[in-house]
């Protein structure tokens, strides 16, 4: 995709990574992604962010279609993660900018990562404004959203927020704007991104949005570093971020498990059946078929996480440990938990899973479901009855949380 003018004198000069499936080594993307970078042509010429090192040559080709690279006066590094700053050495070498602006933490990261002794690095403070000529740029730090170096740039004359990872989505497309996609699909991709990258820092999101509101920024367009530029859904996206960050539980349970000889799977299905009969929406994930990032994309607004594993070598199955480790790092809030598992003789897995749920902070109002060998008809009824109890706890939790 060639460069595209998104506002008069402001160009998208990013790269589309159509075939990416593994985002940052931990999250699945089904629609690739983009590494967005923006070029502002004013009395001075400013480049906002770069792209991953892998695409450095395509990127410079994009830039060169708009302006001779050596005419770039300054580079703004909103975020120093390699998918946006990875090409910096290549770009700096070819553009020789007069200034490279970044937050104080990004400055440290750049100095730590690159041989940047002769780079004209300059720290910008939270709230600082620089002039580009007819336009200006205001900076706001958005620490831990999602790195400590993260900041956003606002061009008030254009009502344009360049938001780095915030409001990003992993969507590779020939279109640059959000006017061709239905909002539910865009929101789903935004939620997948948020749930796997920003979720641990949810509490900072409303504070960051309040801080931006206090700065009086009138935002008409949001240009993130991944996916589509928002012009039709700016208000929807801000509301969605508030919703994702609140993690308000819905009448929904996410059941995930692994199984050896299908006994644990039978328990999972019995639990799903009991919950569904009580009006609870269920997402059922056999972890050999689903990636941990897809499970997390459903956990953020679920009232309950229900986790199962057979006992294997006095422990749990490796894919379940993977899922729990991943979930623990993402620190979801407001969850009920229930552990379950089958066993042949020693039967440790439900207890181990219950301890994991405790560490994740999930309330466990019910004892783990434990089945020796295969659940027969009586046991099946017992499991369904446990699911019905869990459904009542889910109803209570949803009621309590929505009345807060
Ligand atoms: Fe898209 Fe945190 O880098």
Widest Cα–Cα separation across the chain: 78
Q: Which of 38, 49, 107, 146 is catalytic?
A: 146
Percent of the chain with pLDDT over 90: 99
Instruction: Please name the residue whose Cα sits nearest to atom 1 of ligand 1.
Output: 165
pLDDT at 91 over 80: yes
| Centroid of ligand 1 to alpha carbon of 46 (angstroms) | 20
* DSSP secondary structure letters along 105-174: HHHHHHHHHS--TTS-EEE--TT-EEE-SSSEEEEEE-TTSSSTT-EEEEEGGGTEEE-TTTT------S
Please give the average per-residue pLDDT across 95-111, as a whole number.
98
Q: State the pLDDT confidence band at 403, using cuts at 50, 70 and 90.
A: confident
- Whether 292 and 25 have beta carbons less than 8 Å apart is answered as no
333 falls in which pLDDT band (50, 70, 90)?
Answer: very high
Mind listing the pLDDT tens digit for each residue in 224-272? 999 999 999 999 999 999 999 999 999 999 999 999 999 999 999 999 9
- Answer yes or no: are the C-beta atoms of 353 and 316 closer than 8 Å: yes
**In angstroms, rounded to a whole number, what is the distance separating the alpha carbons of residues 298 and 275?**
16
3-state helix, strand, coil split of the chain in percent (to 5) is: 40, 25, 40
- The stretch 345-371 carries a mean pLDDT of 98
For residue 217, pLDDT over 80 is answered with: yes
Comparing CA positions, the residue from 13, 171, 8, 132 lying closest to residue 84 is 13
17, 81, 107, 189: the catalytic one is 81
Structure tokens at 96: 């020789």
Instruction: Specify whether 146 is catalytic.
Output: yes
Q: Which residues are 28's β-sheet partners?
A: 22
Q: Give pLDDT tens digits for 28-73.
A: 999 999 999 999 999 999 999 999 999 999 999 999 999 999 999 9
Tell me how far apart the alpha carbons of residues 252 and 301 are, in angstroms, rounded to a whole number: 8
Kindly give the distance from the C-alpha atom of residue 218 to the centroid of ligand 1, in angstroms, as a whole number.
25
Q: Is 81 an active-site residue?
A: yes
What local confidence, expressed as pLDDT, does residue 1 receive? 87
pLDDT tens by residue, 283-303: 999 999 999 999 999 999 999
Tell me the sheet residues that pair with 153: 139, 162
- Find all residues with CB under 8 Å of 48, minimum gap 6, and list them: 37, 38, 39, 40, 75, 76, 78, 153, 162
Q: Does residue 187's CB lie within 6 angstroms of at least one atom of ligand 1?
A: no
**156-175 pLDDT per residue, tens:** 999 999 999 999 999 999 99
Ligand 1 atom nearest residue 146's Cα = 2
Phi, psi torsion values for 15, nearest 5 degrees: -130, 140
Told to judge if 24 belongs to the known catalytic residues of this protein, a careful annotator would answer yes
Bridge partner list, 138: 129, 154
Predicted pLDDT at 404:
72
- Single out the catalytic residue among 84, 226, 291, 292: 226
CB atoms within 10 A of CB 395: 15
Q: pLDDT at position 359, please?
A: 97
Nearest-CA residue for ligand 1 atom 3 is 81
3-class DSSP state of 297: helix
> How confident is the model at residue 402, as a pLDDT?
82
pTM over 0.95: yes
Residue 312 DSSP class: B
H-type helices in 289-341, by residue range?
292-299, 318-330
Q: Which two tokens stand for residue 22?
A: 């593994």
Distance 78 CA to ligand 1 centre (A): 10
Sign of the torsion formed by the C-alpha atoms of 228, 233, 238 and 242: negative
Given this model, what pLDDT does residue 241 score? Answer: 98
Residue 28's Cβ-side half-sphere holds a number of Cα atoms within 13 Å equal to: 10
In degrees, rounded to 5, the angle at the alpha carbon of residue 107 between the alpha carbons of residues 40 and 157 is: 25
CB under 8 Å to 164, separation ≥6 — which residues? 49, 78, 79, 84, 142, 150, 151, 152, 224, 225
Phi and psi torsions of 364, nearest 5°: -125, 90
How many angstroms separate the CA atoms of 27 and 208, rounded? 24
pLDDT band (50, 70, 90) for residue 150: very high
Calpha distance 396→398 (Å, rounded):
6
Which of 222, 215, 214 has its CA nearest to residue 239? 222
Distances in Å between the Cα of 47 and the Cα atoms of 108, 115, 173 are 20, 20, 22
CB atoms within 10 A of CB 355: 12
Ligand 1 pocket residue status of 79, Cβ below 6 Å:
yes
CA 193 to ligand 1 center in whole angstroms:
10
Catalytic residue among 38, 193, 257, 285: 193
Residue that has been written with the tokens 């208000």 in this structure: 235
Would you state the pLDDT for residue 225?
A: 98
């Amino acid at each position: 995709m060639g460069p595209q003018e998104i506002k008069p004198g402001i160009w998208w000069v990013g790269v589309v990574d159509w075939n990416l499936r593994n985002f940052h080594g931990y999250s699945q993307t089904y629609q690739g992604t983009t590494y967005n970078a923006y070029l502002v042509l004013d009395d001075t010429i400013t480049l906002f962010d770069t792209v991953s090192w892998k695409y450095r040559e395509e990127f410079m080709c994009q830039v060169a279609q708009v302006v001779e690279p050596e005419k770039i006066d300054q580079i703004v590094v909103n975020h120093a993660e390699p998918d946006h700053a990875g090409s910096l050495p290549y770009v700096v070498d070819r553009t020789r900018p007069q200034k490279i602006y970044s937050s104080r933490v990004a400055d440290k990261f750049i100095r730590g990562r690159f041989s940047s002794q002769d780079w004209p690095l300059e720290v910008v403070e939270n709230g600082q404004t620089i002039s580009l000529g007819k336009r200006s740029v205001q900076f706001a730090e958005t620490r831990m959203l999602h790195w400590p170096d993260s900041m956003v740039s606002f061009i008030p004359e254009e009502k344009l927020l360049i938001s780095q990872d915030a409001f990003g989505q992993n969507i590779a497309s020939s279109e640059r704007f959000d006017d061709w996609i239905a909002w539910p699909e865009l929101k789903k991709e935004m939620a997948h991104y948020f749930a796997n990258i920003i979720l641990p820092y949810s509490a900072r999101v409303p504070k960051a949005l309040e801080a931006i509101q206090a700065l009086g920024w009138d935002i008409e367009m949001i240009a993130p570093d991944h996916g589509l530029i928002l012009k039709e859904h700016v208000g929807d996206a801000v509301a969605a971020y508030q919703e994702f960050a609140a993690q308000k539980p819905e009448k929904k349970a996410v059941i995930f498990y692994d199984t050896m000889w299908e006994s644990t799977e039978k328990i999972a299905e019995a639990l799903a059946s009991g919950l569904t009969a009580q009006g609870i929406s269920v997402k059922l994930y056999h972890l050999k078929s689903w990636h941990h990032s897809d499970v997390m994309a459903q956990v953020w607004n679920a009232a309950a996480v229900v986790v199962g594993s057979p006992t294997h070598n006095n422990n749990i199955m490796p894919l379940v440990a993977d899922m729990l480790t991943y979930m623990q790092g993402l620190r979801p809030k407001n969850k009920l938990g229930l552990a379950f598992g089958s066993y042949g003789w020693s039967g440790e897995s439900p207890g181990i899973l219950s301890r994991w749920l405790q560490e994740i902070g999930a309330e466990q109002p019910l004892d783990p479901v434990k089945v020796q060998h295969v659940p027969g008809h009586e046991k099946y009824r017992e499991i369904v009855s446990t699911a019905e109890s869990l459904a009542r706890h889910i109803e209570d939790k949803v009621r309590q949380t929505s009345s807060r």
